[in-house]
Amino acid sequence: MVEEVVDGIENNPVGDNNPYNNWGNSVVSHHGYQLYSQVSHLKPGSIKVRKGDVVRKGDVLGHCGNSGRSPYPHLHFQIQATPYVGSKTLKYPLSTYLEKSNGKLSFRFFDYPQQGSVIKAVETDRLLTQAFRFIPGRKMVFEVTENGRSRQVTWQVNTDIFNNSYIACLESGARAYFVNDGTLHYFTLYKGRRDILLYYYFLAAYKVLLGYYPELTIREPYPLYLLAPGGWRYLHDFTAPFFRYMAAGYTLRYEERPDDLTAESMTLHSQAELSSWGRVHKSWHFSLLIDKGRFARFEVQIDKKKLTAVCIKD
């Protein structure tokens, strides 16, 4: 909701500024409990909202200008804890963005851009957005083949009483809780058996950026409980205040597709690794084929064990 609007302050000639109206034309928006944002130095007469308006992602607040204490056109943006223009800036991370350094892209998740960093928003991909659109009631049926034996597995998307979304395996009762913020799909919690398709999918799609960047490799840590045996974890928890010798890591990359504009399929490759003292003890390899906006095939390789799941209904 829009908490405050200041308009009517003229733009400055380039090189000049207005020390009497420091922030210039501004909009303050309320995002939740003690969380506000402020955009300032807007062009006079360009502000599209009024105090009390409800705004949503993608709505235009105003246009970049040169009002207030601003010698050249630019946009001031800050997060703050109070609803007033000129409130103290609150250090607050950006949820999902890309950083470019030395010609290479890197993924940042709930991180703080450093001064001088070149960052960009995620441009979403149609195929990925469709495939990971897990709305309540969506049901997927897989034909799973393992060691020459086949069986059917059914997943259904649900929400709990707190409106947390999860994928449920109807045969085992396992649950994989997730969040989709429009640019990133990521899992938050897994409950259930660890020898079933849903568990492997949880590991394989732990964090998936919903934009197609074949030059990008996503690397993120897993919580140790997902991969490490109980006894190992207890010992590690005991030594963790002094040193950490175990790690669980996730890697995801996007296979390059021949024609980016007309392609109707793409493949994601991911890997999970459990290591201690710098040595990899166990690894899981995954391949996920997306075809026409749905999951077509999912392959799991664990040492000599191979599991293949083909989606027969979605």
Quote the pLDDT of residue 233: 75
In the chain, the amino acid numbered 46 is S
Which residue do the tokens 């890309």 mark? 98
- Model confidence pLDDT, tens digit, residues 168-178: 999 999 999 99
Which pLDDT score, from 0 to 100, does residue 93 have?
Answer: 92
H/E element holding 230? helix 230-239
Least confident of 61-75, 104-118, 251-265, 300-314: 251-265
Report the pLDDT value the prediction gives residue 115, as an integer from 0 to 100: 84
Own/partner long-range contacts of 155-159 (Cβ < 8 Å, ≥24 apart): 155/198
Phi, psi of 253 (to 5 degrees): -140, 155
Domain ranges of the chain: 2-92, 126-313
Q: Which fold has domain 2-92?
A: Glucose Permease (Domain IIA) (2.70.70)
Q: What is the CA radius of gyration of the chain?
A: 24
Least confident of 131-140, 192-201, 243-252, 285-294: 243-252
Distances (CA, A) of 40 to 13, 31, 80: 17, 17, 13
Q: Which CATH architecture has domain 126-313?
A: Beta Barrel (2.40)
- H or E segment and range at residue 198: helix 197-204
Lowest mean pLDDT, pick from 90-94, 110-114, 196-200, 233-237: 233-237
In the chain, % of residues over pLDDT 70 = 99
Residue-level pLDDT at 104: 86
Provide the pLDDT for residue 281. Answer: 87
What's the pLDDT tens digit per position in 57-70?
Answer: 889 999 999 999 99
Average pLDDT of span 141-155: 94
Token digits of residue 19: 């020390």
Please list the residues that pair with 3 across neighbouring strands.
none
Q: What value does the mean pLDDT of the chain take?
A: 92
Average pLDDT over residues 153-170: 97
The residue among 97, 96, 42, 35 whose CA lies nearest residue 68 is: 42
* CA-closest candidate to residue 153, choices 305, 306, 298: 298
277: Cβ–Cβ under 8 A, 6 or more apart, which residues?
245
Res 261: pLDDT: 63
Q: How many residues does the chain have?
A: 314
Taking alpha carbons only, the member of 70, 79, 76 closest to residue 9 is 70
233-283 pLDDT, tens digit per residue, is 777 777 778 878 888 999 999 988 876 666 789 999 999 999 988 889 899
What are the residues whose beta carbons fall under 8 Å from the beta carbon of 158, sequence distance 6 or more? Answer: 136, 165, 166, 167, 168
- Tally of CB atoms within 10 A around 20: 8
DSSP state of 226: G
Which residues have CB under 8 Å from 302's CB, separation 6+? 282, 283, 284, 285
